[in-house]
A and B are shown apart, each in its own frame.
Chain A
Amino acid sequence: DAGVIQSPRHEVTEMGQEVTLRCKPISGHDYLFWYRQTMMRGLELLIYFNNNVPIDDSGMPEDRFSAKMPNASFSTLKIQPSEPRDSAVYFCASSRGTHGNTIYFGEGSWLTVV
């Protein structure tokens, strides 16, 4: 079974540009999560969806960040405009919503904003 698939794996962009990160969750999973990992702050949950509906976006840093899940097999995280402090690894993860079920992570999108 394919795991969580993210793209791009690596992106280098200039400050002010729009960045779109993409995620395909594991088929049959009804929860999807976006995490950000930095040296300073570790792993932070940005937002998560249940059945394509955003449930908790309290971790989204500011209005420059937005996330959508138009269907059960696709989600995007968009940063517009990007800033150097957005440089981080962004992980998408998914799970089947039963207590104790494992949350599976993608390999991450490594973003550098210069």
Chain B
Amino acid sequence: GDSVTQMEGPVTLSEEAFLTINCTYTATGYPSLFWYVQYPGEGLQLLLKATKADDKGSNKGFEATYRKETTSFHLEKGSVQVSDSAVYFCALLSRGAQKLVFGQGTRLTINP
């Protein structure tokens, strides 16, 4: 079945550091890919998405590129801020399906 694997956390960085959170997936066909973010005590918010190969999703300085050849959708940000501290979830939505399949989440802490 479809699955998403994220790098294990927690990840702790200093402010202004470069961030990469790895995400790989297994799916039949061509799924849509998503990154959701969950700030402490809040629900999940869509951060960015890509619906086809080579698409790049971007938002709030974050970006991720849909790589079909490596079945990956790694999240990157060039300079993180303390306010980026949250849990990040990679997810996929298979074509023809309506169920999001989530990775296990990666907790990110940014220290000043």
Contact with A along B92-105 (1 / 0, CB 8 A): 01011011101011
Total interface residues on A, using CB and 8 Å? 22
Please give, as numbers and ranges, the residues of chain B lying within 8 Å of A42 by CB-CB distance.
102, 104-105
Cα–Cα distance between A95 and B38 once the two chains are bound (Å): 18
Please give the distance in Å from B16's CB to the nearest CB on chain A: 30
Interface status of A19 (Cβ within 8 A of chain B): no
B98:A104 contact, CB within 8 angstroms: no
**With known contacts A42-B105, A56-B99, A99-B95, A91–B34 Cβ distance under 8 A:** no
A55 to chain B, nearest CB (A): 8
Which residue of chain B lies nearest to A3 when distances are taken between CB atoms in the complex? B43
A88 on the interface (CB 8 Å rule)?
A: no
A contact residues around B100 at 8 Å (CB): 33, 45, 103
Give B38-78 interface residues, CB cut-off 8 Å to A: 42-46, 49, 51
Given contacts A99-B96, A100-B49, A100-B51, contact A91 B102 (CB under 8 A): no
| Interface residues of B, count at CB 8 A | 20
23 A-B pairs in the complex with CB atoms less than 8 angstroms apart: A33-B100, A42-B102, A43-B102, A43-B105, A48-B98, A50-B98, A56-B99, A91-B43, A95-B98, A99-B32, A99-B51, A99-B95, A100-B32, A100-B49, A100-B51, A100-B93, A102-B46, A103-B46, A104-B46, A105-B36, A105-B43, A107-B42, A108-B43
